[in-house]
Amino acid sequence: MIIAENLEQTYTSGGRPLTVLKDINLSIEPRGFVAIVGPSGSGKTTLLGLLAGLDLPSQGTVTLDGQNLSELSEDERAMLRAEKLGFVFQSFQLIPTLTALENVLIPLELQSSDASLNGARAERRACELLERVGLSDREHHYPAQLSGGEQQRVGLARAFANQPRILMADEPTGNLDADTGHRAIDVMVRLNEEEGTTLVLVTHDTEIASRAHRIIKLAGGRIVSDERGGAGGAGGAGGAAGASSS
């Protein structure tokens, strides 16, 4: 479970404070599919980064499986993400000098303490994931040899490599055409359902958001609505913890 309490994020811009998020309170239940929506500048990406422990809030707390992220060191937060989180970036973030297979292998190789995931077993896991996202024939291609949709699917396979309990995605279809983007979401939803992984997705696409169990809308850095999505199911609006409104 992820719990955010009284979150505020303020940056300095031009020598003046700029508040990006304020009075954010929410909880996200396991196995749910939550979409975070809102206009540009509403704080969606900032919120996702705080929930993932990529940044720390100016005020308030984020608790992940009982651990207050603000009480952990940067290395401890990185270890927690490696163990529990997968992250899909809008810009793919693949290493251009590595093949699709090698990119997916990275998080598996970082688990060097787990001998069961070393060597041949890690490679089998990476191959299986590439097959599941429809790229079994692209294992040895470099990112420059792949289309945008194929690169995004490599990113998805990499995000699922360590079987994370939580998958977070920041505008994962933002650099894709509509058809390719919806196919990428199909893969995410299918993997979410098959793996039982909690999915937290930032998107500007209302059709994609409608597939979520729950839709959290931000405006002006605040939660203005928290409702059950078109998909219904687990992780509905009842998971909110005192959601604020402006």
Q: Which of 68-82, 171-185, 191-205 has the highest mean pLDDT?
A: 68-82
pLDDT per residue as tens digits for the range 207-244: 889 999 999 999 999 999 999 876 655 444 444 444 43
- Give the 3-state secondary structure of residue 58: coil
Cα distance between residue 173 and residue 186, in whole Å: 11
The CATH superfamily label for domain 2-239 reads P-loop containing nucleotide triphosphate hydrolases (3.40.50.300)
Instruction: State the pLDDT at residue 231.
Output: 63
Q: Is the pTM for the entire model greater than 0.85?
A: no
pLDDT reading at 4 higher than 70: yes
pLDDT per residue as tens digits for the range 143-161: 999 998 899 889 988 988 8
Find the mean pLDDT for residues 201-209.
90
Q: Where are the domains of the chain?
A: 2-239
* pLDDT-based confidence at residue 134 (cuts at 50, 70, 90): confident
131: its two tokens? 């097959």
Cα distance between residue 227 and residue 206, in whole Å: 14
Return the percentage of the chain with pLDDT > 70, whole number: 90
Taking the C-alpha atoms of 213, 90, 154 and 32 in order, what is their torsion angle to the nearest 10 degrees? -20
pLDDT per residue as tens digits for the range 52-87: 999 999 999 999 989 999 999 999 998 888 888 988
How many other CB atoms sit within 10 Å of the CB of residue 147? 12
Maximum distance among all alpha carbons in the chain?
54
27 beta partners: 3
